[in-house]
Amino acid sequence: MKRRTSLLIAGSLSLLLLGACDKHTLGAMDALDTSGNAAAPLGDTSSATLYLAIVEGLIDQGRYRAALGYLDQYAVAERKTPRYLRLRGEALLGVGRYDEAAMVFSDLADTELAAAGFNGLGRVAAAKNLWSDAEKNFAQAVAARPSSADYLNNLGFAELHLGGDALSRAEFNLRQAQEIDPSSASIRNNLVLALLMVGKDDEARKILDSIEMPRERAAVQKFAVDWVRARQKSKLE
DSSP 37-83: SBSS---HHHHHHHHHHHHHHHHHTT-HHHHHHHHHHH-GGGTTSHH
Q: Are 144 and 114 in contact (CB under 8 A)?
A: yes
Helix (H) or strand (E) holding 33: none
Work out how many domains the chain is built from and give that number.
1
Residue-level length of the chain: 237
Indicate whether 5 belongs to any domain.
no
Indicate whether 7 belongs to any domain.
no
Range of the domain at 106: 13-236
| CATH assignment at residue 72 | 1.25.40.10
**Whole-number pLDDT of residue 12:** 42
Cα 187 to the center of its chain, rounded Å? 12
Instruction: Determine the Cα–Cα distance for residues 14 and 127; give it in Å rounded to an integer.
Output: 9
Indicate whether 2 belongs to any domain.
no
Q: Which mean pLDDT values do the consecutive 10-residue runs of the chain (237 residues) have?
A: 36 38 29 31 57 90 93 74 93 97 96 97 97 98 97 97 95 97 95 95 94 93 91 74
**Whole-number pLDDT of residue 234:** 76
> CA separation (Å) from 171 to 9, 115, 152?
17, 22, 11
**Whole-number pLDDT of residue 79:** 72
**Whole-number pLDDT of residue 52:** 84
**Whole-number pLDDT of residue 142:** 98
**Whole-number pLDDT of residue 237:** 64
pTM over 0.85: no
Contacts of 194 (CB under 8 A, 6+ apart): 156, 160, 167, 170, 171, 174
Indicate whether 36 belongs to any domain.
yes
**Whole-number pLDDT of residue 172:** 97
CA nearest to 96, candidates 124, 70, 117, 69 = 124
Indicate whether 21 belongs to any domain.
yes
Angle (CA) 96 133 233, round 5°: 90
CA nearest to 88, candidates 72, 110, 109, 111 = 72
CA nearest to 72, candidates 62, 237, 58 = 58
Contacts of 14 (CB under 8 A, 6+ apart): 7
